[in-house]
Structures are given as structure tokens and as C-alpha cells.
């Protein structure tokens, strides 16, 4: 996911993210419905993948 890509928040169940997206929050800043739920920061760098506790979306670090 790069900064120029706009996606809707809470519409997909799996998102691939990159080091450039860190620190990771859900919803991400480039998501159109940024107020879909309270912003929460997720530790994907240590774990490689993490689920959002609000919407259940899975974020996977691909690089």
C-alpha cells in the first residue's frame, strides 16, 4: 500500500503493508473512511502480521 493509493476503511479483511507504512494504524491515514472506528496503532513490525481489535482486519508486513 503506498501513500497515493486511497482505500476504504473496514471493507477488506486483509491488507498488505510495507515498511514505509509504519508506524501502522487502523484505519490507515490513506483510507477514505478514516473515522470508521477509533484509530489504533498495531505492532506489525515485531509480529509480521496483526489483527485490528476493532474491525478484525488482518495486516501483513510484506517487506
Separation of alpha carbons 15 and 55, rounded Å: 12
Backbone angles phi, psi at 58, to 5 degrees: -95, 125
Q: Is residue 44 part of a domain?
A: yes
Q: Is residue 27 part of a domain?
A: yes
Q: Domains in the chain: how many in total?
A: 1
Residue 26 parent element (H or E):
strand 24-26
Q: Is residue 4 part of a domain?
A: no
Print the domain residue range for 53. Answer: 14-61
Residues 62/16, Cβ–Cβ less than 8 Å: yes
Q: Is residue 2 part of a domain?
A: no
DSSP state of 7: B
Q: Is residue 8 part of a domain?
A: no
Closest by Cα among 36, 49, 45, 56 to 28: 36
Q: Is residue 28 part of a domain?
A: yes
Q: Is residue 55 part of a domain?
A: yes
pTM of the model: 0.76
4-63 pLDDT, tens per residue? 566 666 666 899 999 999 999 999 888 876 567 899 999 999 999 999 999 999 999 998
Amino acid at each position: 500500500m503506498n501513500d497515493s493509493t486511497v482505500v476504504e476503511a473496514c471493507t477488506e479483511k486483509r491488507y498488505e503493508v510495507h515498511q514505509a507504512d509504519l508506524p501502522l494504524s487502523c484505519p490507515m491515514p490513506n483510507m477514505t473512511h478514516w473515522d470508521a472506528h477509533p484509530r489504533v496503532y498495531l505492532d506489525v513490525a515485531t509480529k509480521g502480521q496483526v489483527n485490528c481489535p476493532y474491525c478484525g482486519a488482518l495486516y501483513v508486513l510484506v517487506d
